[in-house]
Amino acid sequence: MPNRRDLLAQAAALSLLPALPVLAQDRANPMPEELRAALERDPTAPVLGNPQGDITLTEFFDYNCPHCRTMLPLISDLVRSDPALRVVYREWPVFGAGSDFAARVSLAALPGGNYWRLHAALLSMRGRAEEATVMRTVRDLGLDEDALREGMASDPVERHISTSFLLADHMGLMGTPTFICGDEAVFGAVTAQELRDLVARGRRTMGV
C-alpha cells in the first residue's frame, strides 16, 4: 500500500507536468506527453477494445454515477463498431464508501481476467453499489469472493485509485463520467454520435 510520502511524491510529479517539455508543439493546446502516458499507459488501468489501437479513449467513472450506467451500452457498441479503438477505464470512486468498495473489487478482478464481466454487471445492477450488493453480484457471477477481498488492498489497486484522484485533481475534472481523447475532455453523459465525434477529433488531433 502506498504510504503518504509515496502519494505526495506522485502529486508533486503531476503538479510539475505543465512545466515539462511538450513533444507536440504543432497543436494549439497539446497535452503534455507525460500526462498522456499517465492517462493512457498506466499498467494498473483496465483496457478494453484493441490494446494496440490507433487512438485511446479514457473514461473516468464511478459505479454509483447514474450517467456512467447509461453510458455502458454506448461504450460497448463503440468498441464493437471501431476495431481500432483502445478504451482505458479509470476507476474514480467519488460517490462515497460504496463506490470505493466497488472500484476495489472490480480492479481486484483484473488479474484473473474477470474485470469486464464484473464491471458490466456492477454498472447494470439496480440500486447503489455497496459492499452487500457488490459481493452478491460477485457470487452471482461465480467469482472467488475471498480472492477478490484479498486483492482489494493490493498495491496495483491502491495505485490505480490514488492516481485517478491525482490525475482528476491535476486536470480539474468536474465529475463522472469524463471522457478524454486526443487533447480534449468531455464531461457528462453524451450520445453515441458525440462519442464517435470525440474519437474522430482525437484521431485528427493525433494525426491518425
SS percent in the chain: helix, strand, coil, step 5: 55, 10, 35
Residue matched to cell numbers 485533481: 169
CA-to-CA dists, residue 192 to 81, 86, 123, 183, 195, angstroms: 11, 16, 18, 20, 5
Helix H or strand E encompassing 52: none
Report pLDDT digits (tens) over 98-132. 999 999 999 999 999 999 999 999 999 999 999 99
Average pLDDT, the chain: 89
Q: What is the spatial distance between Cα 167 and Cα 153, in angstroms, rounded to a whole number?
A: 20
Contact 150/109 with Cβ under 8 angstroms? no
Kindly indicate the confidence band of residue 31, based on its pLDDT and cuts at 50, 70 and 90: confident
Q: In this model, does residue 94 exceed pLDDT 60?
A: yes
The pLDDT score that the predictor gives to residue 27 is: 62
**Does 2 have pLDDT greater than 70?**
no
132: nearest Cα among 46, 140, 161: 140
How distant is the alpha carbon of residue 36 from its chain centre? 13
User: Between vectors from CA 78 to CA 31 and to CA 127, what angle results, nearest 5°?
Assistant: 95
pLDDT of residue 86: 98
pLDDT digits (tens, 9 = 90+) for 32-64: 889 999 999 999 999 999 999 999 999 999 999
174-199: average pLDDT: 96
Domains of the chain: 14-206 (3.40.30.10)
pTM for this entry: 0.87
Q: State in Å, rounded, how far the first CA of the chain is from the last one.
A: 38
Q: What pLDDT shows up at residue 44?
A: 97
Are 131 and 124 in contact by the 8 Å Cβ rule? The answer is: no
- Please tell me the predicted confidence (pLDDT) of residue 1: 37
